[in-house]
Amino acid sequence: MAIPSRLSVGLGRQDGEQTRRVLRSNQVQRGVLTNRDPFRRSLRSYSDDYALRGVPVGSAVEVTLRSRTFRPRMQVLSERSLTPLTPLSLVRVNKTTLRLTFETNASTSPYRLRVLSTRPRQTGSYRVQYRVVLRPVGGAPNSLGSPGTVPNAAGFNPLWGYGLVDAAAAVGRALGSGPLPDVPFSDPPIAGQPNATYFWGLDRIKAPEVWSRGYLGQGVTVAVVDTGIDFDHPTFQNAIWTNPKEIPNNGIDDDGNGFVDDVRGWDFVDRDNTPIDGLLGDGHGTFVAGIIAGRQVSSPTVGVQGRNLGVAPAAKIMPIRVLSNFTMLNQGDRVAAGIRYAVQNGADVINVSLGFGDGASATSLADPAIEAALQAARQAGVVVVMAAGNERRLGAIRPSEPAFAAGRDLGLAVGAIDRSGRAADFSNPAGNRPLNYVVAPGVNIFSTGYEPVVGIGQSRHTYVLGNGTSAAAPYVAGVAALLLSANPNLTPSQVEDLITSTANWQGVIG
């Protein structure tokens, strides 16, 4: 007896073979999961299959699946046995995005990708792509990170660049020795914050090993081009740069630099000499500055009072305000002016924890004014460190501008890792083209906070936990300050080479 057609609607083909489309590296494939696709009864889901092409044996591969119409699920299968592989990692970035990383070898190659839904019989549109994040060199390795594998292009990996910044190795090389020996370092947990500790970032980049040799950033000025800084925070006591050529409050531009009474930097938003985090600011610049050069923690409510907070706790911070919560008008011009001010007034390192969110674009859209300012910094011998951006969940394939200028030899781009060593799911990747890119701690970072008290013109000097590549970049800016305190004659290219060539990619995972 024939089955009425109305009963077959929505059932799909039952676990049958289907025509597979081809998916190649870095290709974005759009598809639609429908009730006409094969139905996997054991998974209670319709499915689309793709043949993965261009996957080298002995590599690690990252697959990203996105759908706004159904909750995505996926499998990678060996084409030979149709057996699902056990992934190295499977991360649900959010409700719409799933990211899977797997390792290839000769016994399971070639591969098939299967797009599925998490909930029964869901349908809808999706986008999928894959890319090789670790390629084999000199033979077939048997596991990710084994001696048989190195990142792409002589140490470069598309996810984490040259790896985790290592202050002990970088400063050791600058001094003509090997990596500085480990030193004991306590990192107490933060009460009420599961899996959070106060100083895991300092420990992970091995800053205490450098301190033990007497290098704490002394003699180095780091400009923080940001939202301004809470000058009066006790952790910044004796940490704020002062302009030695300017007489305070006399209404005269004593040093002839074009800025009147710029004793402690400049505010390019309000166009005055008080580059303090705004009344309704979020404390971004204060947070960044604490990571770079915060002195001793000073709060009876914090369990680590008296401990050094910053990577380079003897460096000076030059506050430069270019960002506001209230206006994006002429932001590129303000950032460029802030960079030029730092160069003109003697900064040795510039930290730029900001970006334009264009990391998902295949091409760079550099701001001409910022580009010219970065070139001026380079010519003046100033090291520039820039946050890579936080758009990976939105499909970022490279650092945002201005950090992408690291690919034009105009500074260092920095991504973020968490305490487990995993690349943060928000952190823009390095991309497939080698550039000066490293990673640093950027999740659950303890630093100085700024909490304005509306109506009375004061602020509470707080300490907070924060996330982002904005937190990762100042770790690297701090390491640059440590390098320059150990050897003040280093050029920007030498600092970049020391940081990238000693970065440790083993233990960093996608």
Number of compact structural domains in the chain: 2
Question: Are residues 111 and 209 located together in one domain of the fold?
Answer: no
**Least confident among 24-28, 42-46, 337-341:** 24-28
Q: What is the pLDDT of residue 147?
A: 32
**Most distant pair of Cα atoms in the chain: their distance:** 101
**pLDDT confidence tier of residue 510, bands split at 50, 70 and 90:** low
Residue 509 lies in a domain: no
Please state, in angstroms and rounded to a whole number, the distance separating the CA atoms of residues 493 and 204: 24
Question: Are residues 129 and 57 located together in one domain of the fold?
Answer: yes
Residue 407 lies in a domain: yes
* Threshold 0.85, pTM exceeds: no
Q: What is the pLDDT of residue 13?
A: 42
**pLDDT confidence tier of residue 3, bands split at 50, 70 and 90:** very low
Q: Look up tokens 């792409």; give the residue.
A: 152
Average pLDDT, the chain: 87
**pLDDT confidence tier of residue 156, bands split at 50, 70 and 90:** confident
Question: Are residues 86 and 172 located together in one domain of the fold?
Answer: no
Q: What is the pLDDT of residue 238?
A: 96
Question: Are residues 136 and 173 located together in one domain of the fold?
Answer: no
- Whether the CB-CB separation of 477 and 222 falls below 8 Å is answered with yes
**Which one is catalytic: 47, 117, 324, 470?**
470
226 is catalytic: yes
Question: Are residues 105 and 223 located together in one domain of the fold?
Answer: no
Q: What is the pLDDT of residue 144?
A: 38
Query: What is residue 177's DSSP assignment?
Result: S
**pLDDT confidence tier of residue 371, bands split at 50, 70 and 90:** very high
Residue 105 lies in a domain: yes
Question: Are residues 432 and 488 located together in one domain of the fold?
Answer: yes
Q: What is the pLDDT of residue 293?
A: 98
Residue 404 lies in a domain: yes
Residue 449 domain boundaries: 167-241+281-502
Question: Which among 104, 125, 150 is the end of a domain?
Answer: 150
Comparing CA positions, the residue from 271, 291, 227 lying closest to residue 446 is 291
Contact residues for 408 (Cβ-Cβ < 8 A; gap 6+): none
**Token pair for residue 108?**
């399971």
Scanning 317-420, the segments in alpha helix (DSSP H) are 331-344, 368-379
Residue 274 lies in a domain: no
Q: What is the pLDDT of residue 136?
A: 47
Contact residues for 407 (Cβ-Cβ < 8 A; gap 6+): 364, 413, 431, 433, 434, 435, 436
Scanning 150-217, the segments in alpha helix (DSSP H) are 152-155, 167-174, 200-204, 207-211
Give the bridge partners for 446, in sequence order: 465
Query: What is residue 407's DSSP assignment?
Result: G
The torsion region of residue 360 among left (phi > 0), alpha (psi -120 to 50) and beta comes to alpha
**Which one is catalytic: 37, 48, 166, 226?**
226
- How many Å separate Cα 428 from the centre of its chain? 6
More confident residue, 413 or 155: 413
Question: Are residues 126 and 203 located together in one domain of the fold?
Answer: no
493 is catalytic: no
Question: Are residues 351 and 468 located together in one domain of the fold?
Answer: yes
Q: What is the pLDDT of residue 4?
A: 30
Please state, in angstroms and rounded to a whole number, the distance separating the CA atoms of residues 282 and 381: 32
In percent, the amount of the chain with pLDDT more than 90 equals 64
* Residue 41: other Cβ atoms inside 10 A: 9
pLDDT at 480 over 60: yes
- Whether the CB-CB separation of 410 and 375 falls below 8 Å is answered with yes
More confident residue, 352 or 138: 352
More confident residue, 359 or 446: 446
Question: Are residues 12 and 93 located together in one domain of the fold?
Answer: yes
Q: What is the pLDDT of residues 264-310, one digit of tens each?
A: 999 999 999 999 876 556 789 999 999 999 999 887 777 787 899 99
**pLDDT confidence tier of residue 396, bands split at 50, 70 and 90:** confident
Report the pLDDT averaged over residues 125-153.
55
Q: What is the pLDDT of residue 370?
A: 97
Residue 294: which CATH number?
A: 3.40.50.200
| Highest averaged pLDDT of the listed ranges 126-130, 239-243, 354-358, 429-433 | 239-243
Please state, in angstroms and rounded to a whole number, the distance separating the CA atoms of residues 281 and 466: 15
**Least confident among 161-170, 271-280, 371-380, 492-501:** 271-280
pLDDT at 8 over 80: no
Please state, in angstroms and rounded to a whole number, the distance separating the CA atoms of residues 207 and 265: 27
Q: What is the pLDDT of residue 320?
A: 98
Q: What is the pLDDT of residues 185-233, one digit of tens each?
A: 999 988 888 788 999 999 999 999 999 999 999 999 999 999 999 989 9
Q: What is the pLDDT of residues 68-113, one digit of tens each?
A: 999 999 999 999 889 898 887 787 877 888 988 888 888 889 999 9
**pLDDT confidence tier of residue 38, bands split at 50, 70 and 90:** very high
Question: Are residues 464 and 340 located together in one domain of the fold?
Answer: yes
The torsion region of residue 79 among left (phi > 0), alpha (psi -120 to 50) and beta comes to alpha
- How many Å separate Cα 266 from the centre of its chain? 27
Contact residues for 156 (Cβ-Cβ < 8 A; gap 6+): 162, 430, 434, 437
pLDDT at 140 over 50: no
Side by side, the strands of the sheet bearing 72-78 are 21-24, 48-53, 111-117, 72-78
Angle, vertex CA 459, rays to CA 457 and CA 461, nearest 5: 165
Residue 508 lies in a domain: no
Residue 261 lies in a domain: no
Question: Are residues 44 and 123 located together in one domain of the fold?
Answer: yes
Question: DSSP per residue over 216-258, as a string?
Answer: S-TT-EEEEEES---TT-GGGTTTB---TT--TTSSS-TT-SS
pLDDT at 239 over 50: yes
Q: What is the pLDDT of residue 137?
A: 40
pLDDT at 145 over 50: no
Question: Which among 115, 150, 185 is the end of a domain?
Answer: 150
**Which one is catalytic: 277, 284, 353, 367?**
284
Residue 104: which CATH number?
A: 2.60.120.380
**pLDDT confidence tier of residue 454, bands split at 50, 70 and 90:** low
Residue type at 256? G
Q: What is the pLDDT of residue 107?
A: 87
H/E element holding 452?
Answer: strand 445-453
Question: Which among 123, 150, 177 is the end of a domain?
Answer: 150
Comparing CA positions, the residue from 21, 26, 33 lying closest to residue 74 is 33
More confident residue, 155 or 48: 48
Residue type at 376? A
Q: What is the pLDDT of residue 74?
A: 95
Please state, in angstroms and rounded to a whole number, the distance separating the CA atoms of residues 312 and 109: 48
**pLDDT confidence tier of residue 315, bands split at 50, 70 and 90:** very high
Residue 276 lies in a domain: no
**Token pair for residue 98?**
């799933």
Question: Are residues 417 and 312 located together in one domain of the fold?
Answer: yes
Contact residues for 35 (Cβ-Cβ < 8 A; gap 6+): 9, 10, 11, 12, 46, 121, 123
Q: What is the pLDDT of residue 452?
A: 65
Whole-Å CA distances, 177 to 203, 490, 493 = 21, 16, 20
